[in-house]
Each structure stands twice: as structure tokens, then as C-alpha cells.
Structure 1
């Protein structure tokens, strides 16, 4: 049999965090252990029926059986513009400031190819979604990490980034509501970030995938696009995955600076052929009529958050009670590393957790719980953990 060597860009990659979790979960399940997975952030709630019905009707149209537009149907881009206006009071030009994505992960992964040359520097706030550094490295770029610390409520300390780094950086990745810490950004943070980016001509890459999972209407997460001057430097990635339980549908959007949107669009012209138009039509229905359903989902996640928080308090595990996202960021018990703790929990109880250090070095000493199973399973999971 032939032996083919992987390209260096793949050979240098660590195991993808969530693929490694799936592998470990399968190994324990094969031993007959009953698994409760609180690892990957994949909603267990179904996509609302009206979205499925919209897909069904759209799939019958022969026009939707042909190649779609590379940048997305105008109807979809207009729906995105209208949604941003209603949700964030942000004006977007659907022709120049919006591009459709096959899920936000795809867009984030391709974006550095448009603007990172070999040797260029990207700043990554960490712990972080693993795609940010991987995409930068695939484009030949370099990554410099800056920590998100508990004492700063997991907001990036922009003053800790030295002036030489700002001058050298091509782009900076931020994610609020944050995955994995669930922290949210303030208007002051975004103003300072935009001012710094404008001063040093740095591209801001904002990941907003969790903005619609929030628990207090008075604390709705912000879009960086609400910040004056953001369109000068920023592109924002969003998705229908978490908002409407559409993770498997693979549809999202990038919005913002026209040059940045066009650059991403240029990459996508050469690597994919767009999104099935029937899915785009269903996404239009979701954006236009999905808010009552999103409100119901938020209520379910809030109840789950409170159930888990109460149970963790009873067994003495410190954790952050989130205002947004469906994650709890928890401190590992004293004397355990992140990996040791979650491995022990998995092997002895069948409960899948995500080790904090899998998101970067500052995640050591933490683990993440995903609220994507029902209350009974959440209570059972914490009960099993308590017996360790």
C-alpha cells in the first residue's frame, strides 16, 4: 500500500478538539457506559416547523435546483440587512456589505486566505474557538495569543497588547458572547477596539454566533457594528445555527466593511458554489418570523442554566453564571488539571465535558459545560459528577 505524507500545514495541527472528544466518547460508549454529552455545543431542540416547511416548498422550485449565487440570493442578503437593522439598529447594504456563508465556521476559516500573506500576524484572544489560529496558519500567517482572564471578566485587555504588536498585526479575532467563557462585551470595549484598529489599520474579525442566546432583555449582546467607525475596520460573522437550531443546515453570513466582505467573496468564488437556494429561502423565513421561537429557546436555556448552576453550587464547583450563550465555564476542582478532570469524569461517569485547555493555555484550570440536553439529563450528569 502506498504511504502518502500529509502536507506540513496538516501535519503540524493538533487533534481537532471536538473530533478528539467524539473519539473518546465513542471509546467509553463501546465499553457499555451510558453517555451524557455536555461537550459539543449542538442544540438538541429541533428546528421550528415553519422553517422546515419553507424549505420543503422552496425545494420544489426548479429554479432552486441550479447553481446558486456565490454571494447569496439578494432576498437572503436583504433579510440579513433587515434583521441587523431591527436587532442592532445597524444599516447594511445588501449588495456590498453582506455575503452568505455555508455556516459561519466556513467563512471564518476562509477569511484569512483573503488578507493574510505568509508571515503576517494575527492576534487571537484566548481561550478561543480553534478555527481562528488554524485558519491563520493555513494562510501562512503567524498567531500571537493574548489571554482572557477571569479578573477581567474574560474581556481582552487591549492595553496589554504592546504598540509593536498593534503595528505588526494584520487582523485580530474576538468572540463575544465568548466561546468558551460565555463572557459578553461592553460598548466601551468595542469602542476601544475599533479605535485601536483604526489607529493601526488592523482588521477586526468579530464572531457573533451566540448573540441571540441571552437571558436578560436588558443585557442583550452587542454587535461590533453598532460601534461608530466599525465599518472602517471590521467584519462580523454570524449564523442561524444557534439562534434557530439550524446547526446542520449550514447557513450563515458575514457583514461589514465592503472591502473585507468582497475579499471573502472572492475566496468563496473559487472554493465553493454557494448555498442551496431552498436553504436560503428557509433562512429568509427564519430571519423574518423566527423571533418568537428564539424567545422560547432562550427561556429553555435559562431554565437549564439555573438548574446546572444550582446543582454545581451544591457540590462546590465554582463557575461563571452566564448572561449569554449556552455554556457554563467552570473551575476544575483543586488538584486536577483540566484534562485530568474531564478524562476522569468521562471514564468513571460517562459524562462528556470539554477541557478548558483545549481552547488554549489560559483555559487550563477550567472546563466547559454545554446546556444542550434536557433538565433531567443535566441533573443526572451533575449528580454523577458529585459522586467522584
Structure 2
């Protein structure tokens, strides 16, 4: 044994991978843990989605390797979804690449564009995978702050004062995870101008656009964005399909073709039954989104009550699948997380795992039935 690769030392195990082992051990010991930490939808996909998977699996001819680009019907459904929901016209043969989850897409994109030493702009707080993938590839993470009072607008003035000559990519994410900052068309327009000025590729991670938002927005709906931006999207959150691992990358043809070169070396296509289920999901009507929104709205109101009992502050205009809460001055967020877990059997997420700007925050997930949230409220004396 001559040692592990150096890149292993550049990252730590994903927080939820390690923490959930502890939570599951507490459950095994009989602790009645209420998990308000992880954003894994507890609701089922629509029956049409399940039926499409079942009927395909029953077909003896469905179990072979599939195209690296997905079947044409899936790409067409993704294109129709973008046209219907975002007003964005895409060529299904050239500008859409199905992914086995958008988290994997972060790696595919980074491997396509980054060389060791390149720099990447990453929001702080932000999704930890942006940083871990950047580190794994020997690139350098450069963090930028966001203004929660301005829909999560990045501090572009501060960035303009930095040397951006080595920055190749900029990760953005609206509605923002973990804060729920909704973003806006003016914010995205500013980002497109900024990216063009500095020769930076904007990568918009967009899995929450239909969850408690006033309007779903794609960055590709911004004039001129396709010249400098690509977008990742996912069926995990909005269609209750996180374990199915279905996402998509959309954007300009020449960049998509390069990502496909990388992707084709890393998987052998998506099971046909999953593709058929994804097609059924993408073709669901507006009632699906309105019903989902009603469910999460009711849950969020209860989480707000829970936060009130803990003397936490939060933004009622935030969007997405989480509630981002600031702890009172002088109180430790980590200590609050531990107190709730070990004394109240309630698991929530400490904000520090999303970056230094999350030190004074905690995050609640809405992926828990109302009766469980009510039980959590009743546990707070």
C-alpha cells in the first residue's frame, strides 16, 4: 500500500453522511428522533410516475444499456417543461443533457471546465458540494457573500475589487440553499453582465424553483444568458424523486457536447424505467405544483412556530424547501443543535456546514409531516 491520492485529504466526508449515522444509531437505541435536518422529500411521486416505472420494468426489453444522452422522449419532455414553466426554448437534441442527479452534474461540469489552479466563485453560505468538488479537482474556491435583504444578490462591488483573472466558473443558486433567498430577474441580469465582463461561466443550480416561489425562473430566460450560463435542474425536490437520481443540464450546444464527453466516461446511461417515470413527472399539470405548494406552506407555518418558541429569527419572504433561522446574539448555533438532538430528540442542521457566514444560523427542513412538526413544537418547553 503506497498511500491514498492527495485529493482525499482535500475534502471531508459529507456532513449528512456522517451525522445521519449518529442519528440512525440514536433511533436504533429507541430515541424518538424527529429529523428536520435533511431535505429528502417524504412525499411520494405521483401515481403516474410509479406506474410508468412499473410498466417499463415489466417489459423484458427494458433492461439493457441506455443512451448516455437519455432517450429522445425524455429530452423532448425536458424541453417542453422548460418552454412551459420558464418560457425558455431549447433544442432537445443539442441543448439538453439528462443527468443521473444534479449533484453528479456538479462534478461533470467542474471536470469539464476546471484545471488545477483555476478559481471558482462560490456563495457563502452555500451548498458544500461546490467547494468539495472544486477542491477535489485542485482548483481554488473563492467565496462571495450574498445580501439577504436584496433577494440574495451577490456582493458584486466587492468582487469587482478583486483579481478575477483566474476565475473560470461562478456557482449561483436561486432559490438559494440554505437561506431561501429567492433571487430575481434584476439580480440574474446583473450576473449575466458581470460574467460577460470578466469571461466567467455562470452555473445556475436550480432545483427549488417550484417550491414556495412566486414565479419559477431559469437564468436562460434572461436575454443574453445562454452566451455565458448553463443551468442544472432536478426532479428530486419538486417531483419527490430524490432517490431516482434524475437531473438535467441545459445550455449552449458546444458546452453541452464537452460535458457529454466527460459524462460518457463515468456512467452507462439511466435505466429506461426511471426515464419513463421522469417523463410522466415532467408532464404533470399545474395542480401538482399547487398541491405541493399548499403542503409545504402549511408545514412552513408550523416550522415558523417552532422557530418562534426557540427565539429564532427568519425571513417570511424566503423560498425553497428550508427555513433558515438566526440564533439570538450570544447563543451558539452548534450548542442549540446538540441541545435539541440530545435533550429533545429533534435533529436540525447547523448553519456552519454551509460556510463561515452560516455560523450564527440553523436550518430546518420541511420534509416532515405536520403531525411530526407539531410534536417537535410540543417538545419545546
Size of the aligned set, in residue pairs, is 381
Partner SS for 1:221: coil
Alignment pair present for 1:83 and 2:78: no
Alignment pair present for 1:43 and 2:41: yes
User: What residue number does 1:334 align with?
Assistant: 329
User: What residue number does 1:34 align with?
Assistant: 32
Question: Deviation per CA, 1:160-212, whole angstroms, max 9, x where unpaired?
Answer: 21354333210000111111001111111101101111122111110000111
Give the direction of change, closer, same or farther, for the CA distance of 1:377–1:322 in structure 2 (3 Å limit): farther
C-alpha distance in 1 between matches for 2:26 and 2:315: 29
2:241 is matched with which residue: 243, 246, 255?
Answer: 246
User: What residue number does 1:300 align with?
Assistant: 295
Q: CA deviation at 1:336?
A: 2.5
Q: Is the 8 A contact 1:322 1:328 kept in 2?
A: no
Gap regions ≥5 residues in structure 2: none
C-alpha distance in 2 between matches for 1:153 and 1:211: 14
Question: Deviation per CA, 1:59-114, whole angstroms, max 9, x where unpaired?
Answer: 23344221111011111111111110011110001111110100111111221100
C-alpha distance in 1 between matches for 2:228 and 2:219: 10
Alignment pair present for 1:285 and 2:280: yes
C-alpha distance in 2 between matches for 1:180 and 1:204: 19
Query: If the length of structure 2 is used for normalisation, what is the TM-score?
Result: 0.95
Question: Deviation per CA, 1:219-267, whole angstroms, max 9, x where unpaired?
Answer: 2131111101111011100111111100111111000122222222111
Q: How does 1:173-252 map to 2 (within 5 A)?
A: 173-215=171-213, 219-252=214-247
Give the direction of change, closer, same or farther, for the CA distance of 1:290–1:249 in structure 2 (3 Å limit): farther
Q: Is the 8 A contact 1:173 1:205 kept in 2?
A: yes
Partner SS for 2:339: helix
C-alpha distance in 1 between matches for 2:148 and 2:201: 26
C-alpha distance in 2 between matches for 1:352 and 1:107: 29
User: What residue number does 2:143 align with?
Assistant: 145
C-alpha distance in 2 between matches for 1:352 and 1:372: 12
Q: CA deviation at 1:33?
A: 2.0
Give the direction of change, closer, same or farther, for the CA distance of 1:315–1:122 in structure 2 (3 Å limit): closer
Q: CA deviation at 1:297?
A: 1.3
Q: CA deviation at 1:328?
A: 0.3
1:19 is matched with which residue: 17, 29, 32?
Answer: 17
C-alpha distance in 2 between matches for 1:280 and 1:148: 36
The farther-off stretch of 186-195 and 20-29 is 20-29
Partner SS for 1:93: coil
2:129 is matched with which residue: 128, 131, 147?
Answer: 131
C-alpha distance in 2 between matches for 1:152 and 1:373: 29
C-alpha distance in 1 between matches for 2:86 and 2:5: 43
User: What residue number does 2:361 align with?
Assistant: 366
The farther-off stretch of 15-24 and 68-77 is 15-24
C-alpha distance in 1 between matches for 2:68 and 2:21: 35
Partner SS for 1:45: coil
Partner SS for 2:154: coil
Partner SS for 1:20: helix
Partner SS for 1:235: strand
User: What residue number does 2:57 align with?
Assistant: 59
C-alpha distance in 1 between matches for 2:142 and 2:278: 36
Q: CA deviation at 1:149?
A: 4.2
C-alpha distance in 2 between matches for 1:151 and 1:286: 34
User: What residue number does 2:252 align with?
Assistant: 257
Q: Is the 8 A contact 1:83 1:288 kept in 2?
A: yes
Give the direction of change, closer, same or farther, for the CA distance of 1:291–1:68 in structure 2 (3 Å limit): farther
Q: Is the 8 A contact 2:11 2:136 kept in 1?
A: no
Give the direction of change, closer, same or farther, for the CA distance of 1:8–1:338 in structure 2 (3 Å limit): farther
Query: If the length of structure 1 is used for normalisation, what is the TM-score?
Result: 0.93
Q: Is the 8 A contact 1:107 1:264 kept in 2?
A: no
RMSD over aligned Cα atoms: 1.7
Q: CA deviation at 1:315?
A: 4.5
C-alpha distance in 2 between matches for 1:129 and 1:149: 16
